[in-house]
Amino acid sequence: RAGTIGFIGLGAMGNHMLNNLVKKSTSKRKFALFDVNEDAMDSVIQRHKTEHAAVSISRCASPMEVAMKASTIISMVPTSKHVHDVYLGEKGVIQTLKKLDQESRKETLCLDESTIEQSVSKATALKLRETGADMMDAPVSGGVVGARDGTLAIMVGGDEASFQRALPVLQPMARKVTYCGDLGAGLAAKLSNNLLLGITMLGLSEATLLGKSLGLDPQKLADIINTSTGRCWSSEINHPEPLVTIENQSPPAHRDYQGGFVTKLAHKDLALAVNAAKEAHVPLELGKRAEEIYRPLAQGEEFGNRDFSSVYKAISDMMAR
Ligand code: NAD
């Protein structure tokens, strides 16, 4: 069990993050995987059988079984509810921790990389700490491309000594791993960042539609923005206008907005930021408006599971009506 890495949640982000961990590990490292979606697990296991045959990867039937096999557990699931299920649910990690000896509990470190409510994250970590194990919030930024290339920015909150243990596990997935402070500090950084991301994508969409309507070629405008002060991640990596080509980039806009960071999740993060701001008495004029704009798209069939840059298409469609 000691030294084995458990990975729970093998979706758009998790499957790539695991791949980097496996690729950059020595062949002695063992992995234990779980996802509620059998197909997601099948395809990951198949891939590693072919590409990394020497690494031992086992399939688990629950988070409980992952905790039986692994002393470091990473989770990458959609929302607070899923994180609760994974750690504190009927077949959650905690059920195994309760049965383990003291030494095994103490060596257990859980790293939740999902973007969820800070309060749920802290409460889950405190509950796990009661068993002697430790947990940190370690949300990521960089999207599916960053997960694939192992260039994520990881923001970590929790005990500083645990951070030193977490670093070698997180580094293979990241360009930069930052210790942000106590429990919840990683999520505070992530929610602030994604609040800005949701707003900048909207701003870029409006600026591009304005430029086009005033007679500018969108490619010319994109090239100008990318060498001017309006430059941002959305303009450089994830441009929402399908006609725009940026060197070395293949944004979801070129695939009818398939893949990437889906609108549902982008909206979830904005809603988390707006709620957190309410509790902290921070007025978020733009943030609140952005949340209102993404909300119906996130809930609808057409845009919910498309990349959040499809907000550009939603606004263009509205203009055409
Ligand atoms: P996803 O929906 O593609 O993948 C989530 C996976 O978790 C799925 O395979 C699902 O079956 C699995 N899952 C759900 N409940 C589970 C449970 N109880 N036990 C085990 N597995 C379970 O989502 P994603 O895009 O990989 O995002 C995961 C998290 O990362 C979210 O919190 C998201 O906000 C955050 N995030 C996503 C991106 C992105 O670009 N997609 C970027 C940064 C952060």
CATH topology of domain 189-320: N-(1-d-carboxylethyl)-l-norvaline Dehydrogenase; domain 2 (1.10.1040)
Binding pocket residue ranges, ligand 1, CB within 6 Å: 8-14, 34-37, 40, 76-78, 82, 85-86, 114-115, 140-141, 143-144, 261, 265, 269
Amino acid at 121: S
Find the DSSP H helices in 89-217.
93-97, 102-106, 118-129, 143-149, 160-170, 185-213
The answer on pLDDT for 165 being more than 80 is yes
How far is ligand 1, taken at its centre, from the CA of residue 180, in Å? Answer: 22
The pLDDT assigned to 274 comes to 97
Nearest CA to ligand 1 atom 8: 11
Confidence of residue 279 (pLDDT cuts 50, 70, 90): very high
- Residues in Cβ contact with 22 at an 8 Å cutoff, skipping those fewer than 6 apart: 29, 31, 48, 52, 55, 57
How far is ligand 1, taken at its centre, from the CA of residue 14, in Å? Answer: 7
Over its C-alpha atoms, the chain yields an Rg (Å, rounded) of 20
The answer on pLDDT for 215 being more than 80 is yes
**Residue carrying the six token digits 């994508």:** 201
Instruction: Please give the Cα distance from 165 to 152 (Å, whole number).
Output: 19
The full length of the chain comes to 321
Tens-digit pLDDT profile for residues 8-44: 999 989 999 999 999 998 768 899 999 999 999 999 9
List the single range of 27-36, 121-130, 287-296 with lowest mean pLDDT.
Answer: 27-36
- Determine whether 174 is exposed, middle or buried from the number of CB atoms within 10 Å of its CB (0-12, 13-18, 19+): buried
Confidence of residue 47 (pLDDT cuts 50, 70, 90): confident
Confidence of residue 110 (pLDDT cuts 50, 70, 90): very high
The chain-wide mean pLDDT, for the chain, equals: 96
Instruction: Please give the Cα distance from 136 to 13 (Å, whole number).
Output: 18
pTM of the model: 0.93
- Looking from the CA of residue 10, the nearest atom of ligand 1 is 9
User: Which among 272, 75, 83, 289 has a CA at the least distance from the CA of 192?
Assistant: 272
The pLDDT assigned to 258 comes to 94
- Looking from the CA of residue 82, the nearest atom of ligand 1 is 18
How far is ligand 1, taken at its centre, from the CA of residue 69, in Å? Answer: 22
The residue from 69, 122, 190, 313 that is catalytic is 190
**Residue carrying the six token digits 């991301």:** 197
DSSP assignments along 197-239, one per residue: HHHHHHHHHHHHHHHHHTT--HHHHHHHHTTSTT--HHHHT--
The pLDDT assigned to 234 comes to 95
- Residues in Cβ contact with 198 at an 8 Å cutoff, skipping those fewer than 6 apart: 266, 267, 269, 270, 287, 290, 291, 294, 308
List the single range of 23-27, 147-151, 154-158, 259-263 with lowest mean pLDDT.
Answer: 23-27
CATH entry 3.40.50.720 includes domain 5-183: yes
Confidence of residue 48 (pLDDT cuts 50, 70, 90): confident
Positive/negative CA dihedral, 149, 155, 157, 160: positive
Inter-helix orientation angle 118-129/185-213, to 10°: 160
Confidence of residue 260 (pLDDT cuts 50, 70, 90): confident
Confidence of residue 269 (pLDDT cuts 50, 70, 90): very high
Nearest CA to ligand 1 atom 30: 114
How far is ligand 1, taken at its centre, from the CA of residue 10, in Å? Answer: 7
Confidence of residue 249 (pLDDT cuts 50, 70, 90): confident
3-state secondary structure of 194: helix
Q: What is the rounded end-to-end Cα distance, in angstroms, of the chain?
A: 60
- Looking from the CA of residue 139, the nearest atom of ligand 1 is 44
Instruction: Please give the Cα distance from 150 to 175 (Å, whole number).
Output: 7
- Average pLDDT over every residue of 282-298: 97
The pLDDT assigned to 25 comes to 86
Confidence of residue 54 (pLDDT cuts 50, 70, 90): confident
Between 37 and 48, the higher pLDDT residue: 37
For the chain, domain boundaries: 5-183, 189-320
The answer on pLDDT for 143 being more than 80 is yes
> What is the ipTM for the molecules in this complex?
0.99
The answer on pLDDT for 306 being more than 90 is yes
Instruction: Please give the Cα distance from 319 to 321 (Å, whole number).
Output: 5
User: Which among 251, 242, 252, 259 has a CA at the least distance from the CA of 208?
Assistant: 242
The pLDDT assigned to 28 comes to 81
> Which contiguous run of DSSP H or E holds residue 67?
helix 63-69
The counts of H helices and E strands in the chain are 16, 9
The pLDDT assigned to 9 comes to 98
Amino acid at 302: E
